[in-house]
Structure 1
Amino acid sequence: MAINKINFSKNELFTIIYIATPIAFSQLCQMAMGVTDTILLGHVNTDTLAIGGLSTNIFFSICIIFQSALSSAAILIAQFVGANEQKNVSKVYWTTYLFGIILCLPCFFVLCQTATLLRWTGEHSEEIITKSEHFMGILLWGVPPLLVGTGLLRVILPALNASKLLLYITPITALINGFLNAGFIYGLWGFPTMGLYGSALGTTITLWLSTLILFAVTHSKKELKPYLQPFRIDPSLLKPLARLGLPICVSSAAEILLFLFASFNATQFGTSSLAAHQIAISLASFTFMIPLAISQAANVRVSYWIGAAKPYRARKSGFLSIGLSALIMSIVCTVVYLFPTSIVDISLSNSNETKTVEIAIAIIQVVGLFQIVDGIQSVAMGALRGLKDTTIPMVLALVSYWGIGYTLSVWFAFHWHWGVPGLWIGMGIGLAFIAILATGRFYLLTLHPRNLIYHK
């Protein structure tokens, strides 16, 4: 029996890594697209870089929030796969396209308020606001492929144990994006010279092309056809998709907006502090790709074992995922905490900016310390979703991120005069709270695995 448990743990750990690796890689490639756009726009002028970078950041942040609701499809599909109910997988798959189209509507509405958002954050230049609106007007055409296309397939493929397809498609997408952005921005290779707006057009076309390529490749795989055929839409599935997905959407919004508001608050401490804050944001976003990918794998594997009516394995898989993330992020924590100066040197082209360097080092050490809890909370939330538990975790997220994290970050930064490092300390404490609460909830819910009954 002990040998069987050890073998299961090894096999399950391998499966989690097998699912998570392509997801992490695809997310890094998507980040590379943003870096490419920044570099290309930066060679035009500073205003173009500022407008393009800000607008693109708003666009992807809002889209990611709504895109997270599609994770509900992965939960349902993984359970059906575990239960060997292939006939239901295709219904969920095709109905999720309808769910994604519905999500596009509120996403469009929020993105159309770009001018209001910019004024709200303190932007007073009407020229910048107007150009940002035009830039966003082009990017809006990229919402359908981002939500209903690549966004949907990126959550579906891991549930079908086919996330490796992302390894092939995402690098191609990054190359296409670089080619089209360079072409439209500078007028290369016969493209019209569009400057700032060329980046928006290049990114939008890339989103459509990547969706078409990923869709074509997915549907060409023989091993996936039994799950994707026949074409069937079941409107009755919209209710469970929304019941699971909307709380995930709110949880995602709570986390993303926490860091977005931290950036707004950082502007009040001057250019040096803001620059240091941006270095920390870039580092945290980069390292977060690891637990985020493991979280998706945990979501899928816990759902799969619940569907297979093996709740003990679901519990084991969840804790293996949490442990794997904690281990990896402990290593990341050690590296970041011990070598903050090296990280700052890589990020800053001018090492003579002494004040920025000092603040950045202080912030990065804080970021290093909360890497572990950030990794744990992300994967624990993913494991809870695998149990179809999304509403209570949403409440825990709101309390931890905003009731504790944001409140303390503002208190430390402005009342205790710790500046931007205080913002990060507060957020770190909020992440620690959600890590403890989410892990504790998963432990309690799976304490008696026989109670985790799969309902068809």
Structure 2
Amino acid sequence: MMLQQYTKEFNYNLRLAAPVMLGMLGHTFVGLIDNIMVGQLGTAELAAVSLGNSFMFIAMSLGIGFSTAITPLVAEADGEHNFAKGKSAFKHGLFLCTTLGIVLFVGILFAKPLMYLMKQPVEVVELAIPYLDLVAISLVPLIVFQAFKQFSDGLSMTRYPMYATLIANIVNVVLNYLLIFGKFGFPQMGIVGAAVGTLVSRLIMVVFLWVFLRYKEKSKAYVTNIKIFVLQNNMLKKILTLGFPSALQMFFEVAIFTAAIWISGILGKNPQAANQIALNLAAMTFMVAMGLSVAAMVRVGNQKGLQQFRELRRIAFSIFLLTLFIEIVFALFFIVFNDVLPEIYLNVKDVENFADNTEVIGIAAKLLVIAALFQISDGIQVAVLGALRGLQDVKIPTIITFFAYWVVGFPISYYMGLYTAYKSEGIWIGLLAGLTVSALLLYFRFNYLSKNLVLKKGNISL
């Protein structure tokens, strides 16, 4: 009976989270298609996309992390039935996200020369720079889309960002096929073609989401007649106070995975390509946990607005439990198919590159066993982080994520990757350590805060 109070929420949690999962899986699936298509060109091209995207991941983590400040504010306003507060949170969030997107784009352009200072293979850097030029521009529409998406999630309208993402992904895959390989009379652009596909699809994504929200009764009044430059200092400050730490939380996690890409590059182009394959597969399953994290953020935010703190705890723990069950299934899948999955990315019949491809597949298969173990830690930590954002608790979780990834995880990755025989596997053992510490500390933080909220309301029975 005790378990049933949590499992009875599974159905609603999945229905709320499923569109977010599918939308995010759509993003990652396009990354998988990109990698498979680029992998047909060779391991150097695959490593170049990995290196170029490592810069993008850092910028995206800041933009996407910052945009998550919009969701709990809109969810809380929705719980209170306060339209003016919800629209203000969206408008100010949209302004700040657009500004941040432009700043990050310019930052990427200035950061490009760092590639030559990072001891990466020269052939990989020369392929990565023209790819990054175009992909960097797509940061602006991507982060604007995130503002609309987080607002939509805050209203529990999680389906519409999914629809926009799926349309954009279809466009991306088609353009990639035409432009990477030069099909049907289109120019053969190699990995630059993949960058063009990414840019066009992200522009389409913003337009379609705005159209969907514009014609829905619940959201129409929010997304029309926006006086974007009429701003209030108190709401700007509130979003910055929530958004900046949230951006840092995502940055600290993404940055350690990016560091793994760079350390792998020091080991050579084959370890870097193998790292990219394992990372792409792990990202696919991580998107499911991200969907549940959004569900936790929205539902905890709603209950906070309603001041129903016992319900808040019960709903949050039901999401944590559901995440645990799903991640165990993914972990078993990675262990059982660790030898097969990397073969999707490379042409195993390519005689000329047979030795390189075989080495990449062998390294990636070992990494997937470690990835199987950190599925559980990664899923739990992001679900709990969503619940904490729903409580609008961001400062202490930021310190926790920094400690877990950069005081615990990174030194292990760096030492074991470069100074022991474990090499690529050592890098990922460090990732596993960081994620596990993060999951435990964030869980303790949520349990402590939510218990205090119940006690303060005078409801002692927990």
Query: TM class by shorter-chain length?
Result: 0.7 to 0.9
Matched-pair contact (CA < 8 Å) for 2:300–2:315:
yes
Matched-pair contact (CA < 8 Å) for 1:77–1:92:
yes
Matched, 1:87 2:66: no
RCO higher in 1 or 2 (8 Å CA, sep ≥ 6)?
2
Q: Which structure 2 residues correspond to residues 104-183 of structure 1 after superposition, within 5 A?
A: 104-123=101-120, 125=122, 129=125, 132-148=128-144, 150-183=145-178
Structure 2: which amino acid aligns with 1:117? L
Q: Secondary structure at the match of 2:451?
A: coil
Q: Secondary structure at the match of 1:448?
A: helix
CA distance in 1, matches of 2:441, 2:29: 33
Distance 1:226 1:27, change over 3 A: same
Unpaired segments of 5 or more residues in structure 2? 458-462
CA distance in 1, matches of 2:92, 2:433: 39
Q: Which structure 2 residues correspond to residues 47-446 of structure 1 after superposition, within 5 A?
A: 51-52=48-49, 54-123=51-120, 125=122, 129=125, 132-148=128-144, 150-185=145-180, 194=189, 196-228=191-223, 231-232=226-227, 233-236=230-233, 237-270=235-268, 272-347=270-345, 349-350=347-348, 356=360, 358-446=362-450
- Could you give the per-residue CA deviations for residues 411-438 of structure 1, whole angstroms, max 9, x where no partner exists? 3334443222122112211111111100
Q: Secondary structure at the match of 2:68?
A: helix
Alignment length, in residue pairs?
448
Moved more, 236-245 or 104-113: 104-113
CA distance in 2, matches of 1:378, 1:205: 30
Matched-pair contact (CA < 8 Å) for 1:33–1:177:
yes
Distance 1:120 1:304, change over 3 A: farther
Moved more, 360-369 or 420-429: 360-369
CA shift, 1:171, in A, is 2.0
Structure 2: which amino acid aligns with 1:371? Q
Distance 1:315 1:227, change over 3 A: farther
Structure 2: which amino acid aligns with 1:393? P
- Could you give the per-residue CA deviations for residues 251-305 of structure 1, whole angstroms, max 9, x where no partner exists? 1111111011112222344455444433321221121111111111111111111
Matched-pair contact (CA < 8 Å) for 1:71–1:245:
yes
Matched-pair contact (CA < 8 Å) for 1:91–1:231:
no
CA shift, 1:146, in A, is 0.8
Q: CA RMSD in A?
A: 2.9
Structure 1: which amino acid aligns with 2:402? L
CA distance in 1, matches of 2:33, 2:363: 27
CA distance in 2, matches of 1:133, 1:178: 22
Structure 2: which amino acid aligns with 1:299? M
Structure 2: which amino acid aligns with 1:441? R
- Could you give the per-residue CA deviations for residues 238-258 of structure 1, whole angstroms, max 9, x where no partner exists? 111111011111111111110
Distance 1:190 1:90, change over 3 A: farther
Matched-pair contact (CA < 8 Å) for 1:329–1:372:
yes
Matched-pair contact (CA < 8 Å) for 1:81–1:160:
yes
Residue 21 (structure 1) aligns with: 18
CA shift, 1:31, in A, is 1.9
Matched-pair contact (CA < 8 Å) for 1:383–1:442:
yes
CA distance in 1, matches of 2:279, 2:191: 24
- Could you give the per-residue CA deviations for residues 16-37 of structure 1, whole angstroms, max 9, x where no partner exists? 2112111111112112323333
Structure 2: which amino acid aligns with 1:122? K
- Could you give the per-residue CA deviations for residues 304-334 of structure 1, whole angstroms, max 9, x where no partner exists? 1101111111112211111111111112122
CA shift, 1:70, in A, is 0.6
CA distance in 1, matches of 2:341, 2:288: 18
Distance 1:115 1:129, change over 3 A: farther
CA shift, 1:138, in A, is 3.0
Q: Secondary structure at the match of 1:320?
A: helix
CA distance in 1, matches of 2:317, 2:194: 43
Matched-pair contact (CA < 8 Å) for 1:108–1:140:
yes
Residue 460 (structure 2) aligns with: none
When normalised by structure 1's length, the TM-score is: 0.88
- Could you give the per-residue CA deviations for residues 211-254 of structure 1, whole angstroms, max 9, x where no partner exists? 11111111111232254455355432111111101111111111
Unpaired segments of 5 or more residues in structure 1? none
